[in-house]
Structure formats: C-alpha cells, structure tokens
C-alpha cells in the first residue's frame, strides 16, 4: 500500500483509471448478461402468476379471453364455501400428502440406516432402488392399473392362489386412495433414502463411537445421537417431498381419470383445478383454486421450515 502511494504520478493515474473503468463496464455488462435470465423469469414465472391472479378475479368461462367481467373475490368465496368438491379435495390432498410422506420418511430412513455401512451387493441394491425414481409417473400409473385390474390383473391372480378373494383395488371407491398412497410410497421412498443416506454420510462418527464406548445400545444410539444430528437433513427432505406430494397429479389422473374417479375418490386440489379448467372451462374459479392451493403450499413450507429453526435454537 505504501509502495503504491509513493508511486510515480503516471502509475497513480493509471491505477485510479483502471478501477473506475472496470466498475463502469461491469455495471453495464451485468445487466446485459442478466437480461435473458430476467426475461425468462418474467415470461415464464411472473407473467403466468399475474395472469392467473387476474383470471381468478373474473367470471371467465368457455374461453380465457371471453368477454369477462370482474367479480372481485366471488370465485374465492365460491371455492371456500363449496363443501361438495373443494373441501373434500383439500382433505384428500392433506391425507394423501401426510400419509404418503410419513410412510416414505420412515421407510426411507430405515433403508438409509441399513445401507449406511457397505455390504456385499450394495451396488445392485442401489441400482434397483433407483429404478422407480426414473420411471414416468404416468407409466407407473398405467403399470399399476394393469397389475391391479380387478378382472384380469396379476395381483388378483396371485391373491386367489393363496385363497384371498378378488379385490377391486383401483376399481374400488374406498380402496383407491390408500392404494395410490402406496404406489406413491413405492415410487418415491428411494428419493428419501438417497437424501437421508447423503445426510448420514456427512455426520461425524465420533459422537456415535463415544456413545457406543459408553455402553449405549443400537436403538439408543439411533434415537439420541444419530437422529438429532440428522434433523436438518430430515427436515429438508420432508419439505421437498411434501411439496412434490402436494402437487401429485400424474398417477391420480392416469389411474382414475377425470374428477379422480366415479365418486371423486382421489380428487385432490390439483386434479380438481385441472378438471375445472379442461373439463368445465371455468377459468375464473380454476384460477382461484390454484391461487388458494399455491398459498396453501407456501404455508406448509413456512410451517415445516419453522420447526427446525426452533430445534436449532
């Protein structure tokens, strides 16, 4: 620094010039470089959100640009007072999400603990575990629809060979939602396993070894040492999986069709909003439902994020 200060005038002038020039160039350039990304965000995220919000305040029907009038919060009032379709859909969405994610978390953690230490054949197990993750949800839905077909499916064929009477499975009004939760568990538990396995691999070994030396048993080490240390990863995994589960659409639609089945038995908010748009062309109400759904998801995320914070404190 002192050397710089005592430099000849020419050098000093050059130094002063260079930072100013760079800053100016950088300031101009960064907006130029950001422009495509900003345009993309504006076009693909901001505009659709604004458009949906605008539609949710209209009575648009038939076509989105039909001569529509603004009706203020009427669509939201209609949705929130609909005890026939909207609230049952909310209940099913919550039931599906909580049930599936809970089972996925427990199974995922169990599998992660089992796979934590290397064993012979672990590579094969990992490969098999990843397969459901790679399959398309619609293909999964159709596959299970065929397996579980009440009349011709292989599942009933196998069950009959052990003396169990034929089940309706996805053809049933009461069995469908639980079965779809199990299909979701089958497909997405591997994701939980991988996330939790990654989390487990970052944990220090010393606390667990110390506990072991002190005489703690397997369960005690898991309950009091491993699990508390894993909580941040666990929370993140649950948040990610919950968001995806809330938005589940493909397997529901692929197996049960419009309206989530003949008695709307698997109609979640996503399926309901889709039906309002594509089957009923009620764009105003559909947009209102989607706005409410988005707010609900944001609320769930906020709720789930607050807990680990308290835990940390």
Partner 1 sequence: MSITSKNPTRRTFGKIAAGMAVTIGGAALGGCSTGGGKPSPDTPLRIMAINHVWSQAIRKHLPEFEERIGRRVSMSLLTSDQLANSYNVKLNASATDIDVMMVRALQEQLLFAHNGWLADLTGLVEGDAAYNWADFLQAPRERSVTARKVLSVPVVTERPVLYYRKDLVKAPATLDELMETALRLADRQRNFFGYVGRGQRSGAVTMWSSFLYSFGGAFTLQGRSGIGRPEAITAYEYYGRLLERAGPPGATNMSLEQAMPIFAQGKAAFYVDADAIYTNFLDPKISTVQDTVGFAPFPAGPAGARPFNIPSWSLGISAFSRLRDEAWQFLRWATSPEMVRRLQAGGIPGARQSAWSDPATLASFPADLARSMQAQARTGVGLDRPDVLQVGRARDIIGRPLVAGILGQPVGPVAREADAEFADFLIRDNRHREA
User: Which residues contact partner 1 by CB under 8 A?
Assistant: 14, 18, 21-22, 25, 28-29, 32-33, 35-36, 61-67, 149-152, 166-173, 176, 256-259, 261-264, 275, 277-281
**Considering the complex, what minimum distance in angstroms separates the CB of residue 3 from partner 1?**
18
**Considering the complex, what minimum distance in angstroms separates the CB of residue 18 from partner 1?**
7
Q: Which two tokens stand for residue 165?
A: 């009477």
Nearer to partner 1, 74 or 167 (CB): 167
- Would you tell me how many other CB atoms lie within 10 Å of the CB of residue 214? 9
Q: Which residues of 131-157 are buried (b: 16+ CB within 10 A; e: fewer)?
A: ebeeeebeebbebbbebbbeeebebbe
Please, which residues have CB within 8 angstroms of residue 15's CB and are 6 or more apart in sequence?
4, 7
* H helix and E strand count, the chain: 15, 0
Residue showing tokens 């639980």: 178
C-alpha 170, offset from chain centre = 24
**Considering the complex, what minimum distance in angstroms separates the CB of residue 29 from partner 1?**
5
**Considering the complex, what minimum distance in angstroms separates the CB of residue 42 from partner 1?**
14
3 burial type by CB count under 10 A (0-12 exposed, 13-18 middle, 19+ buried)? exposed
User: Which has the closest alpha carbon to 57: 273, 291, 298?
Assistant: 291
d(CA 27, CA 163): 76
Residues across the chain: 313
Q: Which two tokens stand for residue 32?
A: 């130029």
d(CA 61, CA 67): 9
Nearer to partner 1, 56 or 193 (CB): 56
**Considering the complex, what minimum distance in angstroms separates the CB of residue 226 from partner 1?**
44
**Considering the complex, what minimum distance in angstroms separates the CB of residue 287 from partner 1?**
13
**Considering the complex, what minimum distance in angstroms separates the CB of residue 62 from partner 1?**
5
**Considering the complex, what minimum distance in angstroms separates the CB of residue 67 from partner 1?**
7
Nearer to partner 1, 81 or 152 (CB): 152
Nearer to partner 1, 96 or 169 (CB): 169
Nearer to partner 1, 11 or 294 (CB): 11
Q: Which two tokens stand for residue 93?
A: 């969405």
Q: Which two tokens stand for residue 43?
A: 């076009």
Q: Are 233 and 196 spatial neighbours (Cβ–Cβ below 8 Å)?
A: yes
């Amino acid at each position: 620094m002192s050397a710089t200060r005592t430099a000849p005038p020419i050098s000093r002038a050059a130094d002063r010039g260079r930072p100013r020039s760079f800053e100016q160039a950088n300031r101009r350039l960064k907006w130029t470089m950001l422009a495509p990304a900003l345009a993309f965000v504006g076009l693909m995220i901001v505009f659709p959100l604004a458009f949906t919000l605008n539609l949710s305040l209209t009575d648009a029907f038939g076509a989105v640009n039909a001569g529509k009038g603004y009706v203020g919060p009427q669509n939201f009032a209609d949705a929130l007072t609909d005890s026939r379709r909207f609230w049952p859909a909310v209940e099913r969405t919550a039931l599906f999400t909580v049930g599936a994610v809970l089972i996925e978390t427990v199974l995922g953690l169990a599998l992660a603990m089992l796979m934590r230490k290397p064993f012979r054949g672990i590579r094969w197990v990992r490969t098999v575990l990843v397969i459901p993750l790679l399959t398309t949800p619609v293909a999964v839905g159709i596959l299970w629809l065929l397996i579980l077909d009440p009349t011709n499916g292989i599942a009933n064929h196998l069950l009959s060979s052990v003396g169990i009477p034929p089940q309706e499975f996805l053809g049933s009004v009461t069995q469908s939602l639980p079965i779809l939760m199990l299909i979701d568990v089958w497909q997405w538990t591997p994701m939980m396993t991988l996330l939790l396995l990654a989390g487990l691999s970052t944990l220090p070994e010393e606390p667990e070894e110390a506990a072991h030396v002190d005489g703690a048993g397997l369960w005690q080490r898991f309950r009091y040492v491993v699990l508390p240390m894993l909580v941040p990863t666990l929370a993140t995994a649950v948040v990610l999986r919950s968001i995806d589960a809330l938005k589940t659409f493909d397997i529901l639609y692929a197996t049960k069709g419009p309206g989530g089945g003949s008695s709307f038995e698997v109609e979640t908010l996503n399926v309901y909003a889709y039906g309002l748009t594509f089957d009923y062309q009620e764009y105003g109400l559909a947009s209102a439902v989607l706005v409410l759904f988005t707010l609900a998801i944001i609320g769930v995320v906020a709720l789930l994020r607050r807990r680990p914070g308290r835990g940390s404190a």
